[in-house]
Amino acid sequence: MAFWRSLFVRALTFCSFLLFLIHGGHCFYLPGVAPQDFQKGDPLQVKVNKLTSIKTQLPYSFYSLPYCRPGKIVDSAENLGEVLRGDRIENSVYVFKMREPQMCNVVCKLKLDAKTAKEFKEKIDDEYRVNMILDNLPLVVPIKRMDQDSTVYQLGFHVGLKGQYSGSKEEKYFIHNHLAFTVKYHRDSLTESARIVGFEVKPFSVRHEYEGKWDEKTRLITCDPHAKHTVVNSNTPQEVEENKEIIFTYDVEFQESDVKWASRWDTYLLMSDDQIHWFSIVNSLMIVLFLSGMVAMIMLRTLYRDISKYNELETQEEAQEETGWKLVHGDVFRPPNNSDLLCIYAGTGVQFFGMMLVTMLFAILGFLSPSNRGGLMTAMLLLWVFMGLFAGYASSRLYKMFKGSEWKKIALRTALVFPAIVSAIFFVLNALIWGQKSSGAVPFGTMFALIFLWFGISVPLVFVGSYVGFRKPAIENPVKTNKIPRQIPEQAWYMNPIFSILIGGILPFGAVFIELFFVLTSIWLNQFYYIFGFLFLVFIILIVTCAEITIVLCYFQLCSEDYLWWWRSYLTSGSSALYLFLYATFYFFTKLEITKLVSAILYFGYMLIASYAFFVVTGTIGFYACFWFTRLIYSSVKID
C-alpha cells in the first residue's frame, strides 16, 4: 500500500502545481528594451518596417514601392529572428518633434508612370499593410467596435483601397497618401520628460490641390493649417493611375496618457477571448482525467493483482486474462527493426522537447514578449542548437542498450537526419520566396550563419553528448530475452497496428487543437500571440495525454501477446501530427484568403515542417512513457 500512498501524494502535488499555473495563466511581462525619456522638442525618428499581407504571406521591403525616400536609406541592426521573419527596418522621411503638433506636412510629390501605378495597384489588390515603428512600438490603426463600446487595434495601415465613384460601376484604386498620426505619451510631472506609450494612425486618401507651380514652399488648398483646413475624411480620394500626381502629407498630434511605460503594450495585447482559452484548458483536463483513470485502473490491475497475487492458483481463463502481458516476458525487450533509426528519432525528440520547455519558461517570464521582435525565433534556434548535447546523450544511451558499438555513426546521423530534412524543405521554400523578390527570403549571410550554427555548434555538441552517453554502463533489461522469437498470435481487428496508431493520435490532438487555432491565427493572420501561461499549461497537458494514451494502448497490445511495442509506442502518440496537418489544411480553406499558388505552397511547406516537429516531440514523449511502463511492470514480477 505504500506504493499507492506515494502515487496518490505525487498526483496531489501535480494537481496543486497545475492549479498554481492556472492561477498565474495571465503571465507577467518584462520589457524588452530600456525606456527612453524625451524632452519637449526632441526629434522622434519613425522607422519603416516590411509591407505585409495575409493574402499572400510574402513580406516586402517598404521601399519596394516608390514611396518618399530620405536622402540615405539606413538599415537598422536586426537579430536572427527578425531576418527570418522578413523584417526590414529602415529610416524614413517622417521626423516628429516631441510634444510639438504638426499639420499638413508635405513629404514629397510623386508622378506615377505605368510601372509605379501597376506596383501600387498590385499591392492594393493583395491588401498589403504598411508597418512603421516609433520607439520600438508598432504603428496601429484604432477601430471602434460597433457591437461593444471598445477599440481594437490593427497592425499597420493599408497601402490603399478599391472603390467606385457614386453613379459609376467602374472599380478604381485609391492610395492612402495622408496620415494622421497620434503619439501618446506619459509625462513625469517632476522632470517634465515624457515617455512614448502609444503610436496610432488614421490613413486618408486625399486628392491634394495647389495653386501655381510646385516648389518646396507651395501651400496646399486641400490641407492648409493657416486656413484651418485639415483632412478629416476621404471624400475626394486620390486615384492611382498613370500620369497622376500624388502628394504625400501627414499630421502629428500628441496626446497625454495615464498609461505608464511598463504597461504600454497592454492595449496592443488586449485579450477579449480568454473564456475560450479557459474552455480549452477545461476540455484538455477532462481528457487527462479520463486517461488518468484508465492508467490507474491498469496499474491497479497489473501491479496490485498480477504482481501481488501471481503465485495464487487461478483458473486457466483468469490466468490468461490477467497475465497475458507476462507471457511475452522473453521477447518484450527484443531490439526492434531499424533500431538505429528509433535511437535517432528518440534523441531528436529529446532535443526538441528541451528546446520547447526552456523556450516556454523564458516566454512565461516575459523575456520573449512581442516588444522583443524576433526574440522568440532567435531563442528557439539557439536553444535547439545547444540541446544537441541531450540529443546525442539520449540516442547513444538507447543505442548501447540495443548492443550497438559504433557510437560515432549514430551521433552523426542524430545530428544530421532531422535538420537535413527540414533544411531541404526550407531551401525549396526560400527559393520560391527569392523568385517573388520578397524580403522574406533569407539572405546568404544569414544562411551561412544558420549552417555555422548547425555544423559549427550543434553537430559537435551531439558528438559530446553521444560520447558521454556511450561511456555510461548500458541500461540493463529487467528480464532476459529469449534467443528464438515467440510467435505472435492473430490479433483482433481493433489491435491492428495502423488502426490503434491512428486512434492513439486523436486524444493528444484533441487536448491542444483549441489553442492551436490561436497559434495559427497569430502566425498567418499577423496578430500577436503572448499568452504563454495558457500555452505552457496546454503543453503540460499534451505531455500527460501522450504518455497516458501510449501506456494504455501499449498495455492492451502486450495483453494480446504482441511484443512489438517499440515503434508502435512512438507512432501512437506521434500520429497526432497527422491530425495537426489535417487541421492546418482545414484552417487554410476556412480561415485564410490565400489565392496565389506560391503562397499556398509556402503555407503547406511551413505547416509540414511544424507537423514533422510535432511528430518527433509527441512520438518521443509516448516512447519514453511506454519504455518506463514496460520496465516497471516487468521488473516487478518474478519470472520462473
Q: Are 542 and 370 in contact (CB under 8 A)?
A: no
What are 121-132's pLDDT values in tens digits?
A: 999 999 999 999
Tens of pLDDT, residues 230-287: 776 777 888 898 888 899 999 999 999 998 888 888 877 765 566 777 777 887 788 7
Provide the residue count of the chain. Answer: 640
SS3 of residue 189 by DSSP:
coil
Confidence at 308, pLDDT banded by 50, 70, 90: low
Alpha helices in 212-329 (DSSP H): 274-299, 316-322
42 and 98 in contact (C-beta within 8 Å)?
yes
pLDDT, tens only, 153-192: 888 999 999 888 877 788 889 999 999 999 999 998 788 8
Exposed / middle / buried, residue 253 (Cβ in 10 Å: 0-12, 13-18, 19+): middle
Q: In the predicted model, is pLDDT for residue 104 greater than 80? A: yes
**Cα–Cα distance, 173 to 165 (Å, whole number):** 11
What lies within 8 Å, CB to CB, of 25 at 6+ separation is 277, 281, 531, 533, 534, 537
Beta-bridged to residue 245, according to DSSP, are 111
Cβ contact 545:284 at 8 Å: yes
- Predicted pLDDT of residue 586: 95
**DSSP labels, 310-367:** TTS---HHHHHHHSGGGGGTTTTTSPPTTHHHHHHHHHHHHHHHHHHHHHHHHHHTTT
Could you tell me the sign of the dihedral formed by the alpha carbons of 578, 584, 590, 594, in that order?
Answer: negative
What's the CA gap between 68 and 92, in Å, rounded?
A: 8
The least confident of 298-307, 365-374, 428-437 is 298-307
Query: Which tops the pLDDT comparison, 217 or 305?
Result: 217
CA distance 551 to 570: 11
Q: What is the distance between the alpha carbons of residues 191 and 184, in angstroms, rounded to a whole number? A: 18
Helix extents (H) in 336-458: 339-364, 375-386, 388-401, 407-435, 444-452
Rounded CA separation 547/628 (Å): 10
The values of phi and psi at residue 213, to 5°, are: -85, 150
- Report, as an integer, the average pLDDT of 518-536: 83
Check if the beta carbon of residue 581 is closer than 8 Å to that of residue 510.
Answer: no
pLDDT tens sequence across 380-439: 999 999 999 999 999 999 999 998 888 999 999 999 999 999 999 999 999 999 999 888
Is the distance from CB of 514 to CB of 534 less than 8 angstroms? no
Provide the grid cell at 380.
528557439
Helix (H) or strand (E) holding 22: helix 2-23
Q: Judging by DSSP bridges, how do beta strands 140-145 and 150-155 pair with one another? A: antiparallel
Task: Provide the residue type at 502 as one letter.
Answer: L
Burial label, 283 (beta-carbon count in 10 A; 0-12, 13-18, 19+): middle
CA angle (167, 172, 176) in 5-degree steps: 120
Cα separation, 145 vs 102, whole angstroms: 29
User: In angstroms, rounded to a whole number, what is the distance separating the alpha carbons of residues 624 and 303?
Assistant: 19
**Of 116, 122, 195, 127, which is closest to residue 156 (Cα–Cα)?**
127
Mean pLDDT, residues 312-336 taken together? 66
C-alpha distances out from residue 28 to 102, 197, 485, Å: 37, 18, 56
